[in-house]
Amino acid sequence: MIQTTEIIETLSFFDCWEDRYRYMIELGKELPAMDNDLKTQDKLVPGCQSRVWIDWKNINGLLHFEVDSDALIVKGLLALVMAAYQDKSANDIIEFDIQNYFEQLDLIKHLSPTRGNGLQAMIGKIQGAARQMLD
Amino acid sequence: MSNLNKQAPDNHPTRHFRSLDIEKIRADFPILAQKVNGHELIYFDNAATSQKPLSVIKAVDTYYQSSNSNVHRGAHYLSDQATQQFEQARQKVQAYINAANREEVIWTRGTTEAINLVAQTWGRQNIKADDEIILSSLEHHSNIVPWQMLAEEKKAHIRVINIDADGQLDLSHFESLLCDKTKLVSVGHVSNALGVTNPIQDIIKLAHQQGAKVLIDGAQAMAHSSVDVQQLDCDFYAFSGHKMFAPMGIGVLYGKSELLNSMPPWQGGGEMIEKVSFDKTTFNQIPYKFEAGTPNVSGAIGIATAIDYLAQFNSDDIAAYEQQLLNYATQALLKIEGLVIEGNCPNKVAVISFNIVGCHGQDLGMLLDQQGVALRTGHHCAMPLMQCLGINGTVRVSFSFYNNQQEIDQFVQALIKAKSMLV
Ligand SMILES: Cc1ncc(COP(=O)(O)O)c(C=O)c1O
């Protein structure tokens, strides 16, 4: 599993939008696909223009996510998000400073959470899962 | 501008029109001269909203600098000025759409509010249990949801006209839907998602033979054509200023006066009343009966100014030019392998909706945005149409007469690059 620090370093290395997006697309392609049977209506994240599925289960006290999207760049975004959240404890997930992470990725310009790409909704769903586990 | 409706042109043969010099026209639209993500802006999202010429921007500015005041109220100089301009704007719209009289022009916030107004007044008064409202598969959500809400309340039913594979309405299916229960037919003049122009003249005639009323959603037609509501003989016609070079937040409901007079008011408040007491309130005449509260005066002035701007040009020239852009772009796009145009039929305004096999529209949209191209991806507020076509959405480019071939060339190059990054 790729680490957040590695992604930040790689993205900061690129100086043109094409390389950044190519990298995002690569990350998206490398993200393991979700089983089609798992892609049910209740796993869909509302508020995304593309279809985004997020499923999770509790494995030995850590949250394990299965995620997918039919749009590649959005899948790349999911990969960025997974680097921060995959197989972490509910407390770690809630405490992780996602805003700071995205600022470091310098994504705000190009892929800001307001762009209707559903980033906010994805993060909301993941944090919701963590909160649910703590309840 | 286009020959959407074969009407007698209002342009007298001897009238001198401004020539269609696209570079000069572009200079009238200040927003176009900017860079986006390091590239010259290519604005191909005109169906979502059109840009505004400087004359419209200045008219709004001037109104606030020199005439701002509440209308129909104060007995003072500024209020008279504002009221005069506001009512002149109404007359300008009346003449532009050839309504029989000025009272038939009701100001609204836009198309959506105009349709809701009819649903909540005429609809609640006239639609009964088991009545039928006919819509089409092409409709924008704004011309679906208000009727669903009404149908639910009244236990009435929605019927939907089918389209063929090219996105054209199936008129014989429409005829088969018409029956004694049909009370209203509400269809778009031009589809926002595909750009297809519907045969509304036939639809209106057939519906009237059945005794049904007809509302036309003209949101997408007004930027490409001039409309003659009397010649169309529609009962209601709704449109938005912002899609025809005027400001946001202003729109029009045209209705035949005998209908408007028979309809109950909708929103209550100032301006729409004649006399208020706690025992009984009586209502104002049309159009004011439907214009509760302080109206969007600068918006009305903006629409009037946009109409003046358009009137400089020969509408046939604009229509011909837009069709040229449409054909040029269609040819260029069809050369891209795997590109499929939805609704590729002859009767279209300058809108192209497409998909590329193996590419998600949202990915294409993001990669095009990086290259300065503004367009729309997704379901275009027409989810039932997307279901009907068996797709999740499209990438849509929509042109206006300030766009040019060079922009289309750059867009096609940008699209080829985006595709190469994804497949
Ligand atoms: C065909 C059609 N109808 C209705 C609307 C709604 O217009 P508005 O949002 O201006 O009320 C639109 C706008 O996208 C449209 O394209």
Q: Which residues in chain B are contacts of A68 at CB distance < 8 A?
A: none
Radius of gyration of chain A (CA): 14
The verdict on B281 and B338 lying in the same domain is: no
CATH of the domain at B28: 3.90.1150.10
Q: Which of B296, B311, B326 is the last residue of a domain?
A: B311
| pLDDT confidence of residue B259 | 98
Q: Which of B264, B281, B311 is the last residue of a domain?
A: B311
- Class at the top of the CATH hierarchy for domain A4-134: alpha beta
| pLDDT confidence of residue B8 | 45
Interface confidence (ipTM) of the complex: 0.90
| Percentage of residues in chain B having pLDDT higher than 70 | 97
Query: What's the Cα-to-Cα distance from A110 to each of A21, A93, B41, B360, rounded to whole Å?
Result: 10, 25, 16, 18
Residues of B classed as catalytic: 381
State chain B's mean pLDDT as an integer: 95
Instruction: Answer yes or no: is pLDDT of B10 > 80.
Output: no
Q: Which DSSP helix (H) or strand (E) runs through A95?
A: helix A90-95
The verdict on B307 and B197 lying in the same domain is: yes
Instruction: Answer yes or no: is pLDDT of B6 > 50.
Output: no
Rounded Cα distance between B13 and B347, Å, is: 26
Q: How many CB atoms lie within 10 A of CB A129?
A: 19
Whether residue B44 lies inside any domain: the answer is no
Instruction: Answer yes or no: is pLDDT of B130 > 50.
Output: yes
Whether residue B49 lies inside any domain: the answer is no
Q: Which of B90, B366, B76 is nearest to A118 (CA)?
A: B366
The tokens of B360 are what?
């998600």
Whether residue B83 lies inside any domain: the answer is yes
Q: Which residues in chain B are contacts of A19 at CB distance < 8 A?
A: none
Beta strands per DSSP E along B122-272: 132-136, 157-161, 182-188, 213-217, 236-240, 251-255
The verdict on B25 and B108 lying in the same domain is: no
Q: Which of B97, B397, B70, B54 is nearest to B238 (CA)?
A: B97
Q: Which of B293, B311, B329 is the last residue of a domain?
A: B311
The verdict on B289 and B335 lying in the same domain is: no
Q: What is the mean pLDDT of residues A86-98?
A: 95
Instruction: Answer yes or no: is pLDDT of B89 > 60.
Output: yes
Instruction: Answer yes or no: is pLDDT of A122 > 60.
Output: yes
| pLDDT confidence of residue A117 | 66
The whole domain housing B285 covers 57-311
Q: What is the pLDDT of residues B46-66, one digit of tens each?
A: 999 999 999 999 999 999 999
Atom of ligand 1 nearest to the CA of B113: 11
The verdict on B325 and B364 lying in the same domain is: yes
Whether residue B84 lies inside any domain: the answer is yes
Q: What is the mean pLDDT of residues B392-412?
A: 97
* Bridge partner residues of B301 (DSSP): none
Q: Which DSSP helix (H) or strand (E) runs through B175?
A: helix B171-177
Instruction: Answer yes or no: is pLDDT of B9 > 90.
Output: no
Instruction: Answer yes or no: is pLDDT of A107 > 70.
Output: no
Rounded Cα distance between A99 and A127, Å, is: 13
Q: Are A72 and A21 in contact (CB under 8 A)?
A: no
Smallest CA–CA distance, residue A113 to chain B, in Å, is 13
Rounded Cα distance between B212 and B183, Å, is: 5
Give first-to-last CA distance, chain A, whole Å. Answer: 28
The verdict on B366 and B285 lying in the same domain is: no
Q: What is the mean pLDDT of residues A14-18?
A: 88
The verdict on B300 and B331 lying in the same domain is: no
The verdict on B227 and B169 lying in the same domain is: yes
Whether residue B3 lies inside any domain: the answer is no
Please list, residue by residue across B272-283, b when 16 or more beta carbons sit within 10 angstroms of its beta carbon and e when fewer do. Answer: bbeeeeeeeeeb
The verdict on B64 and B178 lying in the same domain is: yes
Q: Which residues in chain B are contacts of A50 at CB distance < 8 A?
A: 360, 362
* Phi, then psi, of A57 in degrees rounded to 5: -145, 160
| B226 vs B95, higher pLDDT | B95
Pocket of ligand 1, beta carbon within 6 A: B 110-112, 140, 142-143, 188, 192, 217, 219-220, 240, 242, 381
The residue ranges of every structural domain in chain A are 4-134
Identify whether A16 is a catalytic site residue.
Answer: no
Tally of domains in chain B: 2
The verdict on B324 and B265 lying in the same domain is: no
Cβ distance of B360 and A25 shorter than 8 Å: no
- DSSP assignment letter at B197: B
Q: Band of the pLDDT at A1, cuts 50, 70, 90?
A: confident
* Phi, then psi, of B392 in degrees rounded to 5: -90, -20
Whether residue B38 lies inside any domain: the answer is no
Instruction: Answer yes or no: is pLDDT of B264 > 70.
Output: yes
Rounded Cα distance between B355 and B342, Å, is: 8
The tokens of B277 are what?
């007491």
Q: What is the DSSP string of B103-117?
A: GGEEEESSHHHHHHH
Amino acid identity for residue B291 in this structure: E
CATH of the domain at B78: 3.40.640.10
| B283 vs B206, higher pLDDT | B206
| pLDDT confidence of residue B381 | 93
Q: Where are the alpha helices (DSSP H) in B127-170?
A: 145-154
Please list, residue by residue across A96-112, b when 16 or more beta carbons sit within 10 angstroms of its beta carbon and e when fewer do. Answer: bebeebbebbebeebbe
Whether residue B48 lies inside any domain: the answer is no
Query: What's the Cα-to-Cα distance from B123 to each of B145, B156, B205, B289, B296, rounded to whole Å?
Result: 13, 11, 20, 16, 25
- Length in residues, chain B: 423
Cβ distance of A49 and B370 shorter than 8 Å: no
